[in-house]
Amino acid sequence: MSGTPGSSPDMWEERIAELRAAVRRAAASGDRETARSLRTELRAAEQAWDEAVLGGDPAADAPVPPRAERGVPVESAGARERDGGAARGLVPVREQVHQALTLLGVPAAPKLIGAVHGAFFPGEIPATRLTSLRRDEERSFRSAPYARPYYLCAALTADLLAPARGLLTVSTWPLRQRVVGPLSARVDFLTAAIRVAERAEHTDTGRDAGVQRLLWRFAATIPGAADGTVGTDGAVVPAVVAEAARAELAVHSEADGRDRAAAARRAADVLDDAALLFGGGLRVLPRRTGTGGGAGAGTDHDRTTGAGVSPDDTTNRRRR
């Protein structure tokens, strides 16, 4: 393997791709000890990429050297990883975001992502680290498409197929799950409430302060959900929140599903691979100048349209 990369994000990405391939080879050959050691180096490289791209506290986020350099036996370190006791510094921000989004299962804003991760997983996601995350993911994809198992990408608006402001998704989700239409905000809110409530109900975290705050956040705007308080501490019963959310979700889910499916089909027809993950953006096209007295007559005007909305425009764009 090559030597230690420099501080450039591109160099770290090359190192990460190299280590991932090495981990797969070691696992395929049955060399579990080498695979575990390489996995630790991979996590350190991913953390170093986070630091190089997103910045932060160098003391808190500095990459951890490989086990051999730290004098840590491979087996004991591997046991800590299997038990979930690995140092938080080895978990990149993008992986923390992925954990929260996987729990939610719907496009979500950074504030909700941070609240969910803080309630159910160790550590917290610094809000400042999320600001440029999607942009950095897009840059990584465009420089080396599909080099990573997943990308944190944008939700796509159903009308313009443009990136929905402030909503993150996971690239491995079905396209219709990453599209948002007129009813999707409410549908996704209710779906997230159900998944959070089910997670709280089936683990021992339901009474934790962070989880309770999250449940109250959902229950406050779902009819009937706030009625599930018990005792003097006013704790929310997760099962009541889930039941109330399912009742309202049944009203909206069918119409929202139709909108999303139609938008997903249109996106698959007109967008390239990068635009399917990060949005087609908006394009400004000149409007033809009319000579008569009908609509469009007079001076030229610009109009803004979503990428891929016009099939003719899409064909011309691909030819160029």
Q: Report yes or no: 14 and 5 within 8 Å, Cβ to Cβ.
A: yes
pLDDT in tens, 148-174: 999 999 999 999 999 999 999 999 999
pLDDT of residue 282: 53
pLDDT of 303 reads 41
Question: What are the tokens at 63?
Answer: 């990459």
Residue ranges of the chain with pLDDT lower than 70? Answer: 1-7, 53-90, 205-206, 228-234, 281-320
Nearest to 156 by CA among 139, 176, 173, 142: 176
Nearest Cα to 193, choosing from 233, 160, 158, 240?
240
Which of 134, 154, 164 has its CA nearest to residue 278? 154
Give the integer Cα–Cα distance in Å for 52 and 43: 14
Query: pTM of the prediction?
Result: 0.63
What is the β-pairing status of strands 282-286 and 229-230?
A: unpaired
Q: Name the nearest CA neighbour of 168 among 215, 129, 123.
A: 129
What 3-state class would DSSP assign to 305? Answer: strand
For the stretch 224-243, pLDDT in tens is 887 755 544 668 889 999 99
